């Protein structure tokens, strides 16, 4: 399974944000997308998932060879594409377990009984070291920042996507919450999951080790490399890359 982004241009309200992004992510790989604020990282995440506010003006998104550039978000999700939001929304009155059961059925096409699904949730929660009481809460309502991010990873574990885009999962987390969330992601990594990890800081890469690092500046990927590129960014910042764009 491959997620291929080819010469992708996108805008919002006639403002150009993505200006020719090229990227190829295979299952089993972890790619980190790094860049300064306003470089287009989160826009890339939303465009990949089909957010209706963004218009693709040029280029294409291919998922396992199929052009999904114009596909609806739910269609992309059913095909195995997953987005963990930077700012997960609260949905008052919707139990987390009920939400996940509906999402699971939509993703897999399987009608699963409530008892069987509760067992699946408990087993998944155990593997991620989540308290079972977590499942009794409504979706993100009253959750701390760390709990919201942990809930996103829990959803990913239940839905088992083939490709996951994690949009600044480290945003707003203290050190302990960051470690817990990173452990959850690492528990899911393997040959059937590709990950695009979007981040502003290098600190999460101390816990989740990418094979590939890409620097994004002004709507383009201006340099790619291995883990050493993240270390270079930590030492030098983005200024040199901004000058070279």
The DSSP bridge partners found for residue 81 are 163
Higher confidence at residue 201 or residue 187?
187
As a whole-number percent, the residues of the chain with pLDDT over 70 amount to 99
Question: What CATH code would you report for 2-86+160-243?
Answer: 3.40.50.300
Confidence band of 174 (pLDDT split at 50, 70, 90)? confident
Lowest-pLDDT range of 36-40, 50-54, 113-117, 173-177: 173-177
pLDDT at site 244: 57
Least-confidence region, from 27-36, 57-66, 129-138, 165-174: 129-138
Going by C-alpha positions, the residue among 192, 150, 194 that lies closest to residue 170 is 150
What is the pLDDT at residue 234?
A: 83
**Six-digit token string for 43:** 């826009």
Q: What pLDDT was estimated at residue 179?
A: 87
Which of 155, 200, 245, 244 has its CA nearest to residue 32?
200
Question: For residue 240, is pLDDT > 90?
Answer: no
Give mean pLDDT, residues 206-222.
Answer: 95
Please report which confidence band the pLDDT of residue 214 belongs to, taking 50, 70 and 90 as the band edges. very high
| Alpha carbons 33 and 129: distance in angstroms, whole number | 28
Cα 219 to chain centroid distance, Å, stands at 18
Please write the tens of the pLDDT for every residue from 75-133: 999 999 999 988 888 888 888 999 999 999 999 888 889 999 999 998 888 877 777 77
The pLDDT score that the predictor gives to residue 128 is 75
Strand intervals (E) in the chain: 2-12, 15-26, 30-34, 55-63, 66-67, 81-84, 163-167, 194-199, 212-217, 220-225
pLDDT at 177 over 90: no
pLDDT score, position 243: 62
Which residue is associated with the tokens 């790989």?
29
- Is residue 190 helix, strand or coil? strand
């Amino acid at each position: 399974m491959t997620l291929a982004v080819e010469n992708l241009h996108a805008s919002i309200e006639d403002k150009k944000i993505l200006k020719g992004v090229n990227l190829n992510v295979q299952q089993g790989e972890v790619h980190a997308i790094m860049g300064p604020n306003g470089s287009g990282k989160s826009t890339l995440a939303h465009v990949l998932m089909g957010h209706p506010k963004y218009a693709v003006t040029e280029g294409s998104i291919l998922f396992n060879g199929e052009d999904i550039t114009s596909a609806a978000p739910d269609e992309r999700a059913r095909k195995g594409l997953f987005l963990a939001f930077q700012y997960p929304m609260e949905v008052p009155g919707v139990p987390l377990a009920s939400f996940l059961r509906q999402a699971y059925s939509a993703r897999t096409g399987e009608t699963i009984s409530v008892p069987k699904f509760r067992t699946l949730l408990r087993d998944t929660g155990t593997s991620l070291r989540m308290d079972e009481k977590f499942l009794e809460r409504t979706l993100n309502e009253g959750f701390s920042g760390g709990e919201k991010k942990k809930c996103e990873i829990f959803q990913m574990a239940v839905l088992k996507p083939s490709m996951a885009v994690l949009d600044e999962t480290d945003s707003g987390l203290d050190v302990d919450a960051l470690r817990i969330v990173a452990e959850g992601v690492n528990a899911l990594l393997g040959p059937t999951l590709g990950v695009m990890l979007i981040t502003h800081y290098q600190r999460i890469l101390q816990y989740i080790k990418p094979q590939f690092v890409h620097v994004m500046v002004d709507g383009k990927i201006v340099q790619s490399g291995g883990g050493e590129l993240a270390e270079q960014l930590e030492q030098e910042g983005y200024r040199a890359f901004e000058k070279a764009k």
